[in-house]
Structure 1
């Protein structure tokens, strides 16, 4: 029980840090998608179905919540985070722990993926645009 509680607290801290970094919509989308996908997948296919459902739901939720330039990275992060959180949560706290883990993992993974996508997209200064100064070819006399 202590391990489950400490995992939940750590997950909440990570999710709060991710939201403070400005990736709140991707984090919320990944968390909600992961938790809902976990519940639906668990009903259809047990613990394996829960992990798969959490991954798919976390990916979809993170992609919907992310900004346009970082949707792929957010989807990958949210999917992996939710699936991993589902597996770890299931081993620690059964189906309830699996749902909590999927939500927290999807939130953290979606936020981190979105943040990585924003960083890599803005690393090129100027965006490939070159400034051309106007030079007078013909001087008026």
Structure 2
């Protein structure tokens, strides 16, 4: 019971930070997709199936929630976060912990991937372009 409350409290803190960062849709998609994929995966293939289902669901949910240019990074983050959260949650709190971990990991990973994609887009446009200057020939 203490573990469940600790995980829930941590999830609330993380979700507030994610939503404040402006990555809410990718985070919500990754969290919901990871949790749902985890539950379906548990039914099909136990803890291994839960981790795989969480990864696939987290990736899909994050990609759907992210903006068009950020979908790949958000999907990678959401998938890895969900799968990792599922495995860690299973060690800490069994099936319920696995589902909570997949949801939290998917939310954090989707938001992180979306945010990294935004940073890459802003940083890449700052370079200076060198134009060829035409020299006038004197006759």
Structure 2 length normalisation: TM-score? 0.87
Gaps of 5+ in 1: 131-141
1:34 aligned residue: 34
Contact 2:3/2:93, CA 8 A, preserved across alignment: no
- Mean Cα displacement is larger for which, 45-54 or 3-12? 3-12
1:61 aligned residue: 61
Cα RMSD between the aligned structures?
Answer: 1.9
When residues 129 and 32 of structure 1 are mapped into structure 2, their CA distance, relative to the original with a 3 A threshold, is: farther
Structure 1 length normalisation: TM-score? 0.85
| Displaced runs of 4 or more, over 2 A | 1-5, 124-130
Contact 1:81/1:106, CA 8 A, preserved across alignment: yes
Distance 2:100 2:124 in 1: 38
- Cα-to-partner distance string for 1:101-132 (whole Å, 9 max, x where unaligned): 111110111001100011101113368889xx
